[in-house]
A = this chain, B = another copy of it.
Amino acid sequence: MAIESNNETKREAPIRLGMVGGGSGAFIGAVHRMAARLDGEFQLVAGALSSTPEKAKASGLELGLDPARTYSDFKEMAIREARLKDGIEAVAIVTPNHVHYAAAKEFLKRGIHVICDKPLTSTLGDARKFKKLVDESDALFVLTHNYTGYPMVRQARAMVAEGAIGAVRLVQMEYPQDWLTEAVEKTGSKQASWRTDPAQSGAGGSTGDIGTHAYNLGCFVSGLELDELAADLDSFVEGRPLDDNAHVMMRFKEKDGVRAKGMLWCSQVAPGHENGLQVRIYGTKGGLEWTQKDPNYLWYTPFGEPKRLITRAGAGAGPEAARVTRIPGGHPEGYLEGFANIYMEAARAIHARRKGTAPDAEVLYPTIDDGMKGMLFVDACVQSSKRNGAWVKA
């Protein structure tokens, strides 16, 4: 219940938001819009929702945008909005991966904050330029590795940092799905089509789309940095150019005197799994387990004691969970609330920027560096697999 009650003084005017991509039929664009709306901190006022003018226009109408601020070209949108007195302050980029960098560049260089979907780009080259661009920009850059917005993921991270499980030895990550079990990319699914196309997605299939999420989550919670990995990638469906399953072994850099190990499994061909994201972390003094299927719960075992079920907003949940929770315990929060927490953190940072101050120390969102790590992870997976599972530095 912390989110509204933090606003004890006059509410800031909503942040004027634009969107690139996310026209009719897109999945993630609608998610970003709901996440932006939930807490009332953003107002969508402009969009380049599609590069097809007709579709851009229709999508703008559907969303109630002013036709004058409905664009089919993101560059035009950046230029014109930058000139408006009440032009957009931030933009959400929700296109396929290969457009992220080019779009972000136009906004960042005009001082418009960018909230960008992951993975960062479709090529490592673009990613490196992207990193440079963001580092040199005054505008903010937020990457929506949204799972880090779940309250119990924050709780887990805080517990590891506080030593609740001792020195970390093991990080077991997985993200199985089943929606690409058959060759749906050949039967007209727009989602399946671009996500299995190297030109739009990049070098990674399941690794880029969901493996990066699992990897990001493992690092976020454990506080560890990857040293090297060995991967075995497959495309089980005939004719699919990108991996639809990946098995990865990991070695992390030493921390607290321990060189932790890990495994990551991501798959789009595992029937029975919708979005089975899970992270399990074990240390010298205990273990923590979280799964997206039951996002309001965190299993905690202090070694030698009974397992405990820590619930969002319940006994055992600390301030890190409380500041990103909206409703009392026992009323489940879900994916959209977690996603909205990233937008809420972005809003806090942008509000501070408006005032010329630094955001509160607690404000936490995924950055360009997390994006780079994801790109390097995909690249390492692909390189390792090509070299028959050799260990590759991340």
- A interface, CB within 8 angstroms of B: 1, 4-5, 7-14, 24-25, 27, 30-31, 33-34, 37-40, 61-64, 165, 169-170, 172, 177-178, 181-182, 230, 232, 234, 236, 245, 247, 249, 251, 258, 261-263, 265, 267, 269-276, 280, 282-287, 289, 292-296, 299-311, 314-316, 326-337, 388-389, 391
Contacts and interface: CB of A to CB of B under 8 A. Distances in A.
28 contacts: A1-B27, A7-B62, A9-B61, A11-B61, A11-B62, A30-B327, A33-B40, A169-B236, A170-B245, A178-B282, A178-B303, A247-B261, A263-B263, A271-B301, A272-B282, A272-B301, A274-B328, A275-B328, A276-B330, A292-B332, A300-B306, A306-B310, A327-B335, A333-B334, A333-B336, A334-B336, A336-B336, A389-B391
Given A7-B62, A33-B40, A275-B328, 15 more contacts: A10-B62, A38-B336, A170-B245, A172-B265, A177-B330, A178-B303, A247-B261, A271-B285, A272-B307, A274-B330, A292-B331, A293-B330, A300-B306, A306-B315, A388-B391
Nearest to A28: B327
A294 to B, nearest CB: 7
List of 8 A-B pairs having minimum Cβ-Cβ separation, nearest first: A274-B330, A275-B330, A272-B301, A11-B64, A331-B335, A332-B334, A272-B287, A334-B334
A303 B234 contact: no
Contacts of A310: 306
B31 A64 contact: no
A327 B27 CA distance: 8
A61 B305 CA distance: 37
Consensus secondary structure, chain A interface: loop
A170 B270 contact: yes
Contacts of A287: 178, 270-273
B38 A38 contact: yes
A245 B64 contact: no
Contacts of A249: 230, 232, 247, 249, 389
Contact of A38 (B34, B282, B314): B34
A251 B275 contact: no
Nearest to A299: B272
A273 B285 CA distance: 13
